[in-house]
Amino acid sequence: MSPIVARRAIGAALVIALCSGAWYLAHPQVPDGQPPLVTLDATSVATLRDAFNRDAAHVRIIVLPSPT
């Protein structure tokens, strides 16, 4: 495979991966029966706390990803 063809193939794969990722992030889906996803901000912290405390009998996980 020539270097030009290889670069184009890698570029096409990257474009497809980026487009797929953007589509996935723009159209989040949750399993049936699960509440919809929410964005955590200053106005939704109390709602999160109440929901977390209400389900004390179940396993609960909070994930806070960081860019660093």
Residue 63 lies in a domain: no
Task: Let me know: does 48 contact 42? Beta carbons within 8 Å.
Answer: no
Residue 60 lies in a domain: no
Q: How many domains does the chain have?
A: 1
Residue 68 lies in a domain: no
Is the pLDDT score of 26 beyond 90? no
Task: Let me know: does 21 contact 27? Beta carbons within 8 Å.
Answer: no
> Does pTM top 0.75 for this prediction?
no
pLDDT digits (tens, 9 = 90+) for 35-53: 887 777 888 888 888 988 9
Structural domain containing residue 34: 3-54
Residue 61 lies in a domain: no
Where does residue 65 rank: exposed (0-12), middle (13-18), buried (19+ CB within 10 A)? exposed
Residue 67 lies in a domain: no
